[in-house]
Amino acid sequence: MKKDIIVFLIMFFVLFIVILFLPDSIPIHFNWRGEADIVVHKYFLLAGVIIPYSVYWQFFREKRD
């Protein structure tokens, strides 16, 4: 359990460091003309840490009996 929390915190910390170098507004969706139609604040991307953590949870963590 401790290892799982540490992995999550490391992923969160690395993403936070990357976000510090991004502009304040990030386009996350583009229409068919290539124009950004959904723009979010850069800290919204922290919610995305759930995706790589769920991959870790499913495939790489040690299974317990």
Q: Is 2 helix (H, G, I), strand (E, B) or coil?
A: helix
Whether 65 shows a pLDDT value over 60: the answer reads no
Specify the number of domains making up the chain: 1
pLDDT in tens, 1-47: 788 888 888 988 999 999 999 999 999 899 999 999 999 999 998 88
pLDDT value of position 33? 95
Q: How many CA atoms are closer than 13 Å to the CA of 7, on its beta-carbon side?
A: 15
- Domain residues for the domain of 26 are 2-60
Q: Which of 48, 63, 57, 58 is nearest to 5 (CA)?
A: 57
Residue 55 placed within a domain: yes
Residue 31 placed within a domain: yes
pLDDT value of position 14? 92
pLDDT in tens, 42-60: 999 888 888 888 888 788 7
